[in-house]
Structure 1
Amino acid sequence: MVYDNLVPFSFTKNGIFYFERRVPTDLLRHYDTRKISYSLRTRSAQVATTRARRAADQLDEYWYYLRCKDAELPGKHRLRMTSSSVQAAPEVAIGDAVLLSEAVSIYLKQKGHGRPVTFHRAAERSCGYVIDVAGDKDLRGYTKKDANAFRDALIKRGLSGSSITRIFGTVRSVTNFAASEAGVSFNNPFSGVYFDRQAGVQEREPLVGEVIDTVQAECVSLDDDLRWLVALVSDTGMRLAEATGLALTDLVVEGDCKKVIIREHPWRRLKTAGSSREIPLVGKALWAAQRIHFHAAGQVHAFPRYNRGQLTNANSASAALNKWLKPMVPTGCTMHSFRHSLRDRLRAVECPSDIVDQLGGWQTNGVGHAYGRGYPLEVLAKWMRKLV
């Protein structure tokens, strides 16, 4: 990183110019970072200068707006309500106006308690995209034209249809909730926006039996904590984040009831309420659990290297393991492919679908499936043993 004195508010990295501007101290409460930094996408000092100055001017203008919004109106104490001013007032009082940035705060304050940092980031990032495109307006100020421009901007970013669907869903949730909390009548323009939801979406491919056998053999050969994690996922179908965040006590390897208990921990939440479950340990998953216990030295976590902070770092595990898997698996397959494979493997032994759903933590359709505690572990173990 080299700071460039000729181009304002910039530095270079590998020859590329980057914009950087520190957020003023009095406006830090509006941001989740102390500085704004992004690529100017050019190696030309002349082009970078133009783009950096434009960005700086835009920030100065917006920061002026934020300061004015927070400041007292000059001469406010001299104002008097006259008949003309009452007649000219809008249908909804000014106090009822809710900016999108305020809507995010309302949403996170009410619904963000106890939710993971990803929940907060999704709301802030998704609505931040809207503000970048259409500005920070009162919720009723957004139009279908703004929503369509927002869609076009996301498509221009190269996002897949599934990512755009997720972002729009977050924006709708934030705006609908905030409008409801504020008692604002709101026809949401971000509903019913058309785009190709399948654009750029890649189907997740399951792994076939021969590939799984090859990967598991390599796990046994290398016999370290990373390979234990792969082996554990391969014969349980757990989500990688579920496995990475296991406590040592979640792996029960003694007695007749060998199992992994998937439950919520302070360092790792579960994706859904139905994700809490028990899976019998069989095959290489049982081998991995036994190896973890054999090498444990009073540790709390099954995989300490990914639990050094307050939260489980499943993204780091995903990057490392997918890189290791890549030469051994077909193109497009990842660690998550083991989860798809489990469903196919259970289908192959004619396992009932509601047992498959219970083992994988998938939602089963129908009201009746919500009654009772599900199948006992002995029944689940009978079907899991058929896989190996």
Structure 2
Amino acid sequence: MSTDYIYKRGEKFIYRRRVPKYVSNLDHRKEIKLALKTDNYQEAVVRANIYNEQIETFWRALLQSGKSKGSNEKYKTAVQLARAYGFTYKTADQIASSTLNEIVDRLSIDINSQQKADALLGGVQESHLKLSDCTELYWELVHDRLSDKTAFKVTKWKNPRKAAIENFIAVVGNKHLHEIDRKDILDFRGWWNKRIKNGLSADSANKQLRYVKDILQTVSNDNEIDIDFEPLFLRTRFQYKVKSRPPFEVSFVQNTLLRKLDGLNDRDRMVIMALADTGARISEIFGLKSEDIKLNDEVPFIWIRPREGYALKTSSSERKIPLVGSSLYAFTQCPDGFNHVGNPDTFSNMANNYLKNNNLRPTPQHKVYSLRHTFKDRLRDIEAPEEIIDDLMGHKKNGPKYGRGHRLDTKLKWLEKIAFTV
């Protein structure tokens, strides 16, 4: 660096440089002035070189990004800085309408930078975030909720939330986030009310209302948009009765369902057999890896457990299930499991269609998942202890957890009493 930017002011030196034209559209300062805090010229040169390198690095970063700090980032910074000085951020128009005392208090602060002036005197416009911006921002903000999910589960988790925001936009328009009010929420609820009258479920409506609320509140909080969405969504939930999926009769599974699976390929037939005598969720069966299938142990079993990139529905879902009857047969035929082929939703849709097309549904409400309900009923019918049932089902137990849980041979004793004959 030349010494062109070093000037003496009084007894000490300063660094002074005009912002060059090639970056003036990004750095809006006319000139940069920095005190070098020394009266020694050689020392001033060293310090000026350090400052100059930092400034030029900043300019290079601006040019590389192609823009200065975005308007939403400026707004966030202004809100945070105003709060640090004990004020709520207000735009210039809002400040003009404030009390004289507040205006005087704001002006009494030593405003020695443009950033501070923006924060205290309302120099930044309110956030311009639109509803259509929210989902992508939301994914980044809830990364912790997705970090232990497979790619398939991430997509499955994102899709209904994305659909909820898209429906909300279709009803209220692609408004700025700070413009959302109670009327918008009620309009969205009214739109869903009409759909419920036409046969869609109230449960689906409640989920979409919940997703929209969570997304808007999360993004607003991160972007310093001062809106509490809790009262906006107050009393918007639809009432409905939870419909429990019906179980199959045990005799129907043994004598009919398991004997009429020949129209399926070997893999799909084995999945249904595995479900029948484990009571596991479909996603849990597909989530097993070969190391989770213990066929050579004294008590053969499967170990349903989380791992990196794969989460269970709840923490209580982790469990070991002894293999008996149809499940032992299924895993003997498929010792590596089903993790490497297909996905749970594709299988579920296919299997339910198979049951429907082959008259294997006692009622339209019966699904493959009904096998899990049947499994629980079978354990109740033999008067298995509730703790054993909860352990095998992966249900949360009431009260604190003590001890290591039931031994495999204890669980095996009860499962052998209900095992299907293959």
**What residue is the counterpart of 1:182 in the other structure?**
223
- The unaligned stretches of length 5 or more in structure 2 are 1-69, 72-90, 99-120
Aligned residue for 1:330, secondary structure, equals: coil
Amino acid in the other structure paired with 1:302: F
1:320-340 CA distances to partner (integer Å, 9 max, x unpaired)? 211222312211101110111
Mapping 1:12-161, distance limit 5 Å: 86-87=95-96, 94-96=125-127, 98-112=129-143, 113-114=146-147, 115=149, 116-157=154-195, 158-161=199-202
Amino acid in the other structure paired with 1:356: I
TM-score by length of 1: 0.66
Aligned residue for 1:236, secondary structure, equals: coil
Q: Give the C-alpha shift of residue 151 in structure 1.
A: 1.8
Q: Give the C-alpha shift of residue 134 in structure 1.
A: 0.8
Aligned residue for 2:240, secondary structure, equals: coil
- Match for 1:302 among 322, 338, 351? 338
Mapping 1:178-257, distance limit 5 Å: 178-188=219-229, 189-198=232-241, 202-213=243-254, 214-219=256-261, 224-257=266-299
Structure possessing the higher radius of gyration over alpha carbons: 2
* Distance of 2:226 and 2:317 partners within structure 1: 37
Aligned residue for 2:330, secondary structure, equals: helix
1:133-184 CA distances to partner (integer Å, 9 max, x unpaired)? 1123344422332212212323434420111122122122212222333344
* Distance of 2:161 and 2:378 partners within structure 1: 37
- The unaligned stretches of length 5 or more in structure 1 are 1-70, 73-81, 294-299, 307-312
Mapping 1:254-293, distance limit 5 Å: 254-264=296-306, 269-293=311-335
* Distance of 1:288 and 1:266 partners within structure 2: 26
**Native 8 Å contact 2:138 2:219 kept in 1:** yes
Aligned residue for 1:204, secondary structure, equals: coil
**Native 8 Å contact 2:92 2:122 kept in 1:** no
**Native 8 Å contact 1:101 1:136 kept in 2:** yes
Aligned residue for 2:160, secondary structure, equals: helix
1:69-96 CA distances to partner (integer Å, 9 max, x unpaired)? xx99xxxxxxxxx976851699996345
Identity in percent: 28
TM-score by length of 2: 0.62
* Distance of 2:177 and 2:94 partners within structure 1: 24
Amino acid in the other structure paired with 2:396: Q
* Distance of 1:84 and 1:100 partners within structure 2: 25
1:299-346 CA distances to partner (integer Å, 9 max, x unpaired)? x6536441xxxxxx2221112211222312211101110111112111
Q: Give the C-alpha shift of residue 244 in structure 1.
A: 2.5
* Distance of 2:93 and 2:284 partners within structure 1: 63
Provide closer, same or farther for how the CA distance between residues 140 and 379 of structure 1 changes in structure 2, counting only shifts above 3 A.
Answer: farther
1:102-153 CA distances to partner (integer Å, 9 max, x unpaired)? 4433321021342411222222211121111112334442233221221232
Amino acid in the other structure paired with 2:407: P
Aligned residue for 2:303, secondary structure, equals: strand
* Distance of 1:303 and 1:191 partners within structure 2: 43
Q: What is the root-mean-square deviation in Å for CA atoms of aligned residues? A: 3.2
- Match for 1:321 among 318, 333, 351? 351
* Distance of 2:326 and 2:233 partners within structure 1: 47
* Distance of 1:191 and 1:264 partners within structure 2: 36
Provide closer, same or farther for how the CA distance between residues 83 and 324 of structure 1 changes in structure 2, counting only shifts above 3 A.
Answer: closer
* Distance of 1:136 and 1:180 partners within structure 2: 19
Aligned residue for 1:148, secondary structure, equals: helix
Q: Give the C-alpha shift of residue 222 in structure 1.
A: 7.3
**What residue is the counterpart of 2:382 in the other structure?**
349
Total equivalences in the alignment: 294
Provide closer, same or farther for how the CA distance between residues 258 and 219 of structure 1 changes in structure 2, counting only shifts above 3 A.
Answer: farther
Whether 2:412 is the aligned partner of 1:381: answer: yes
**Native 8 Å contact 1:98 1:179 kept in 2:** no
Q: Give the C-alpha shift of residue 355 in structure 1.
A: 2.5
Provide closer, same or farther for how the CA distance between residues 141 and 172 of structure 1 changes in structure 2, counting only shifts above 3 A.
Answer: same
**What residue is the counterpart of 1:12 in the other structure?**
none
**Native 8 Å contact 1:357 1:363 kept in 2:** yes
1:200-256 CA distances to partner (integer Å, 9 max, x unpaired)? x65411111111102223348978221111000011111112212322332222231
**What residue is the counterpart of 2:208 in the other structure?**
167
